[in-house]
Amino acid sequence: MSTSYPNRPARGGRLPALAAVTALLVGLAIVFAFFVAPEDADQGISQRIFYFHVPIALTAYACFGWAAFKALLLLWRKEERYDLESYVAVHQGTIFGALTLATGSIWAKASWGHWWLWSENQLVLFLVLFLFYSAYFMLRFSIEEGPRRANISAVYALFGVVLVPVSFLAIRLAENVIHPTVFTRDGPQMTGTMFLAFCVAWVAITLLAYTLYRVELAGKRLDANLRELREALTT
């Protein structure tokens, strides 16, 4: 295990600038979603939830992917800082996963009158992933801090990323046999401006996730540094 300190800020501190740009973009995304994009022909206003729901889902996938990437780096390079980065990425992914479930179920209620639809593959997949990654925290907090916990958390994060396509396939297979679909939903046809609103929202939400990731990482590193300082001063 190399001895690079885990608490050196990896890259420069342009966090405030990042946060400002994110806030601006999120505001822009809302403006686009509500005022620029035309109302959807058949779904009406409830279609506007789509502009946040799908980008949040895509961002959750990105967080889980990022966590697996950092986990791979930890196992390969054995540098302590990747453990913290992988953990924070999983934490972000779980938050956005929960948001996906929340906004998704509100959208389902608005469009089809049911809070939960087993036929909605995306939602079911996120439910499975949410259960999986919640277990990540149960596992992580039940092992004593150290190289062993870092390795095990990393391996589990790798399993998560493999589980995504496998579960998606399973849910699709289950769809027409075990749970015949009740509501068919063809992909939302998007006009030019709708697609633009979607893209702005996607960039905004991704940046939001990255900002929160950097904020939480900074917080966790501060914690670690302070703990070391306290130890140095009190022993």
Partner 1 sequence: MPLGPRGELFRAVPESGLVVIRARALERRFGRKRALRPVDLAVERGQFAVVTGPNGSGKTTLLRLVGGLLAPTRGELEVDVDRGRLGFVGHEALVYRDLTALENLDLYGRLYRVPERRERIGRLLERFDLWDARHERAGTFSRGMLQRLALCRGLLHEPDLLVLDEPFTALDADGAALLDRQLAELAGAVTVLLSTHDPVRVERLATTRLVLG
Partner 2 sequence: MSSGEKYVAAAYGVVFLVVLAYVVIIAAKLARLERETAELAELARARSAPSTSNG
Partner 3 sequence: MTYFADVAALARKDLRLELRARDTLPAMLLFVVSTLVVFHFALPADAGELAAQGLLWLALVFTALLGLARAWAPERESGALDGLVLAPCDRSAIWLGKALATFVFLGVISAVALPAFAVFFAPVSWETVAGVALANAGICAVGTLLAAMAAASRTRELVLPLLFLPLAIPLVVGGVGASISDDPGRFLAFLGLYDGVFALLCWASFEYVVSE
Q: Of the candidates 147, 165, 188, 219, which one interacts with partner 1 according to CB under 8 A? A: 147
* Phi-psi group of 44: left, alpha or beta (phi > 0 → left; psi -120 to 50 → alpha; rest → beta): left
Hey, what amino acid is at 210?
Y
Q: Is 120 in contact with 34 (CB distance < 8 Å)? A: no
Give the contacts of 1 (CB within 8 A, at least 6 positions apart). Answer: 78, 80, 147
- Asked whether position 3 contacts partner 1 by CB under 8 A, the answer is yes
Backbone angles phi, psi at 44, to 5 degrees: 70, -150
Q: Is 216 in contact with 91 (CB distance < 8 Å)? A: yes
Q: Of the candidates 27, 38, 147, 188, which one interacts with partner 3 according to CB under 8 A? A: 147
User: For the chain, what percentages of helix, strand and coil (3-state, to nearest 5) are there?
Assistant: 75, 0, 20
**Smallest gap from residue 133 Cβ to partner 3 (A):** 9
**Smallest gap from residue 98 Cβ to partner 3 (A):** 15
Per-residue burial over 109-137, b = 16 or more CB atoms within 10 Å of its CB, e = otherwise: eebbeeeebbbbbbbbbbbbbbebbeebe
Nearer to partner 3, 40 or 83 (CB): 83
- Asked whether position 144 contacts partner 1 by CB under 8 A, the answer is yes
- Asked whether position 134 contacts partner 3 by CB under 8 A, the answer is yes
Q: Is the Cα torsion angle 169, 173, 174, 176 positive or negative in sign? A: positive
- Asked whether position 170 contacts partner 3 by CB under 8 A, the answer is yes
Contacts to partner 2 by CB under 8 A: 30, 44-46, 48-49, 52-53, 56, 95, 98-99, 102-103, 106-107, 109-110, 208, 212, 215-216, 219, 222-223, 226, 229-230, 233-234
Q: What is the CA radius of gyration of the chain?
A: 20
Q: Of the candidates 146, 165, 188, 219, which one interacts with partner 1 according to CB under 8 A? A: 146
Site string for partner 1, 67-96 (x = CB under 8 A): -----------x------------------
**Smallest gap from residue 73 Cβ to partner 1 (A):** 16
Residues that bind partner 3 (CB under 8 A): 1, 75, 128-129, 131-132, 134-135, 138-139, 142-144, 146-149, 151-152, 154-156, 158-159, 162-163, 166-167, 169-171, 173-174, 177-178
